[in-house]
Amino acid sequence: MKIAVVMKLVPDLVEELEIDEEKARLDTTWLRLVANEPDEHALEQALLLKEQLDAEVIVLGMDGDGMDDLLVTAAAKGADRIIKLTGADGDTLNNHAVARLLEPAIRELGADLVMTGVQAHDDLDGAVGPLLAGLLGWPCVSYVSGVVLEGAGCDVRKEFPGGLVVEMEVDLPAVLGIQSAPQPPRYVAVSRVRQVMKTTEVEEHPVGAVDDRGAAEVQALRRPSVGERASMLEGDEREAADQLVAILQKAGVL
Amino acid sequence: MTSTNVLDYPLDSGQFFASVSERKDGHRIRVCQQCGVCSGICPFRNAMDFPPQRMIAALRADLLDEVLGVDTVWMCVSCHACAAVCPAEIPIAGGLMTRVKEELVLAGEVPTELQEALESSQRYGNPLGQSPRKRADWIKGLEDDVTLLPKERRPVDVLWYVGDYGSYHARVTQTSRALVGVLKALDVDIGILGPNEISDGDSQRLAGERGLFETLAEQNGRAFAKHEFGEILTADPHAFNAIRNEYPALGIDYPVRHHTQYLADRLDDLRGLFVDPIDARVAYHDPCFLGRVNGIYEEPREVLRSIPGVELIEMAHNRENTLCCGGGGGGMWLDGFQWEKSHMRLSDLRVKEAVDAGAEVLAVACPYELPRFEDSTKTVEGAEGLLVRDLAELVAESMGAVP
């Protein structure tokens, strides 16, 4: 059983995000990148499956700033192989381009199961999984929060808003968009990462020409404007609290 | 293919014993007589499967797997009360308990709350998960009184290591600002590293993340080495302990003073600067890492006594018998976990004692204590009027030097 996990880096929201001069992209001057959280859950789910059965976990990511660190950390957590796809500019690729670059790599690896985070906060269209599945001709389930592998079958659990849980069986090979693993992504000690950094090679896999057709083009990026009905309370804490109490009393909730 | 078993986990009991013996004075663990005073004094003994004495017995019985199979070693707040009373002088807190935590960290067995603090320390250089670029934001309005060394490169007399909470925590930055006022009045030439400063790593070390500690220490060492200064000053006993006792082994060796020592050394100058009396009964809480671990008990008391109006009183537990605020050894980042296991907050016990002693002000000298004790004053009966103040804040107030 070979499980491929696709991971990427997204802007870290600990820094203020700035919009660049062209008003259609983030200013990358101070941008700090962090592993996409649902991708971390995809990795955790894969590692849990590895612990339960004899699976090989292969982590893939597009080359770019911080990808080596992300991959080495994944290896330190227990991934068996770490591969970066090189030769395409990872920062500017849309999901369509990424899915097209991943397809031949996944076929070459002979993966039985592909898992990726269901979405990333820098695009929110959750398209890599479905697009990749479409290209591979494999089934795809998104928003998965639990995976069980038994024999040749794969049972997945999916949570709907409003408290409904669906369990379904998926034929392998398949692509899964992971929303959350059954447990939080594990901690990896710094000394373990340091060791793995010395002993592990990040495999490089050159990719072909980039084809990014099909994606929506961002025309403008701006901060949400303050709505007309919002008003800011002025003054220190006490004055603000007094005003708040008056507003709540007027609204009849106090 | 990569190998993930690079750190030879798990060990057997014999190897584990040997690894404890490699720590400073660690060989003494072999002469433990099972007297049990360590477990008796441990503030969280009731919530531990293996309080220290039982842990040593279990390791002797080759039961390392059982010791590592439970999570209650995370109740250990590294208060060093056990080590202080041990007649065989076994380094129980810093040696044994920390080694067990290290094994759990290597195995990835870390409570989620603590994991967040450790990951933030890795990613941002501080356990609070704040932007490293904002580390000097607290000096806003005081730029003329503190030299931000990365901006204005020049030799200074004192390099002030501000620390994580002193830089970011809303309450503790007030202490930092008060200390600016005091140091300015004393005409001290101070510089800070701002965004080039990073967590001292001491609490992460005591929470079992030794590799992270070394990474953080090395980065601070490189930042220190870029500047010319006479000595390091810090208001954080954990930073003080790290720089004084742990950094030298990593080749980072600078003279360091805690602010209570610094102020005690400048007592003659201070006396002339006090203008407003603070008419209050003040109880001083000895921070574990200033007192028990580094033996500094009298300097803070001398400073407090010198403030006009202050009546210094003692709580039942003081000096080497001090009670822990609960923030050490990772406890600062394990409040939910420890509450779940014990339904007790160590800071409550201390605040109760302050109330019983008739204190009006609980004076502290560690950044962990301000938020912890202030939280407790909100729930402990009779503590409504108790003020919690860092010693620097009381000094600044009496000088009229609060910025």
Whether B119 and chain A come into contact, CB under 8 Å, resolves to: yes
pLDDT, residue A92, reads 72
pLDDT in tens, B308-339: 999 999 999 999 999 999 999 999 999 999 99
What is the pTM for the complete model shown? 0.92
Mean pLDDT over B234-238 rounds to 98
Question: Which A residues, 123 through 152, put their C-beta within 8 Å of a C-beta on chain B?
Answer: none
CA separation for the pair A113, A50 (Å, rounded): 12
- For the four alpha carbons of A85, A86, A87 and A89, in that order, the dihedral sign comes to positive
The band of B4, judged by pLDDT with boundaries at 50, 70 and 90, is very low
Evaluate whether ipTM surpasses 0.85: yes
The band of B5, judged by pLDDT with boundaries at 50, 70 and 90, is very low
DSSP A176: E
Residue of B183, B205, B197 whose CA lies nearest to B329: B205
Instruction: Determine, for residues A192 and B122 on separate chains, whether the beta-carbon distance falls below 8 Å.
Output: no
CA B178 to each of CA A53, B145, B268, B369: distance values in angstroms, whole numbers, following the listed order: 59, 12, 19, 16
Whether A200 and chain B come into contact, CB under 8 Å, resolves to: yes
Mean pLDDT over B220-240 rounds to 98
**Beta strand ranges found along B59-180 (DSSP E):** 147-148, 156-161
Question: Which B residues, 208 through 237, put their C-beta within 8 Å of a C-beta on chain A?
Answer: 209-212, 214-215
In the predicted model, residues of chain A with pLDDT beneath 70 are: 89-91
DSSP string, B206-267: HTT-HHHHHHHHHHHHHHHHTS-EEEEEES-HHHHHIIIIIGGGGT----EEEHHHHHHHTH
Which of B1, B3, B5, B6 to mutate against chain A (most A CBs within 10 Å)?
A: B6
B384–chain A nearest CA distance, Å: 19
Q: Which residue of A has its CA nearest to B129?
A: A14
Q: Which two tokens stand for residue A242?
A: 């007094």
CA B326 to each of CA A129, A248, B335, B369, B370: distance values in angstroms, whole numbers, following the listed order: 46, 38, 9, 9, 12
**Beta strand ranges found along B264-360 (DSSP E):** 280-284, 310-313
Helices (H) and strands (E) in chain A, counts: 6, 11
Instruction: Determine, for residues B124 and A14 on separate chains, whether the beta-carbon distance falls below 8 Å.
Output: yes
Angle in degrees, 0-180, between the axes of helices B112-124 and B210-225, rounded to the nearest 10: 30
- For the four alpha carbons of A121, A127, A128 and A133, in that order, the dihedral sign comes to positive
Whether A194 and chain B come into contact, CB under 8 Å, resolves to: yes
pLDDT in tens, B278-306: 999 999 999 999 999 999 999 999 999 99
Q: Which two tokens stand for residue B2?
A: 């990569």
CA separation for the pair A121, A128 (Å, rounded): 13
Task: Decide: residue B300, CB within 10 A, 0-12 exposed, 13-18 middle, 19+ buried.
Answer: buried
**Beta strand ranges found along A48-137 (DSSP E):** 56-62, 81-86, 113-117
pLDDT in tens, B26-63: 999 999 999 999 999 999 999 999 999 999 999 999 99
